[in-house]
Amino acid sequence: MKRFLRPENASYGHLRVRVQVFALALAAGLSLAAAPVEARLLHVVALGDSLTAGYGLPPGEAFPDVLQRALKAHGWDVEVANAGVSGETAADGLARYDWSVPAGTDALIVELGANDMLRGMDPTAAEAALAQILDKARAAHVATLLAGMRAPANLGPDYQKRFDAIYPDLAKNYGVALYPFFLDGVAGDPTLNQKDGLHPTRAGMEKIVAAILPSVEGVLAEVKP
């Protein structure tokens, strides 16, 4: 004799299947919701002079190269472009800003002004050029780190005071991050500088990057995913 499934059992069977399907769909949805968002590659430009360009250093040891390696070691998916040109003043950097900092740049490191100071140029001119660079970066919504420079005492107290004030004043006025002195811990140390006493050795560059790294990471954290 054939056994026939009672209607109520049939309804229960269909209900159980529906519950199982719903549970599987819910679990799949939760898994998708919990999946981390894949981080995108961040594009950073280091706009500067010979200190950025890597004067006197072997290939792969310039500031942008060493910084990129350090950032990747800290888990950042980043590409740091070397937009450093030896001998340039702040005005020179401004003149080539539009092609040195292309559309799609996420973060900018500005390291300019050392040559203005070494030539004894009026600090007002350097400040004006740097201000225009910051204007351009702000208009393009590029997170910016301003790397400062300091004048030596032999240029006189008045010049030293005027020049050294450029960077904190600009950082405050534009609301950008400031790294007060790019050569902090390296300037004046013969063991960390090349024979000219101005440009860092490989060891000096490693020290510069180690010191500035937290400031760079702070700026990268401002970049929208």
The answer to whether the CB of 171 falls within 8 A of the CB of 146 is yes
Strand partners, 107: 44, 143
Position of tokens 């898994």? 31
Active site residue 199: yes
The C-alpha atoms of residue 95 and residue 67 are separated, in whole angstroms, by 25
Q: Which of 139, 129, 118 is nearest to 170 (CA)?
A: 129
**43, 106, 116, 199: which is the annotated catalytic residue?**
199
**43, 50, 106, 116: which is the annotated catalytic residue?**
50
Distance, C-alpha 168 to centroid of its chain: 18
| DSSP state letters, 108-173 | EEEE--HHHHHTT--HHHHHHHHHHHHHHHHHTT-EEEEEP----GGG-HHHHHHHHTHHHHHHHH
Active site residue 196: yes
Question: Which sequence positions are flagged as catalytic?
Answer: 50, 196, 199
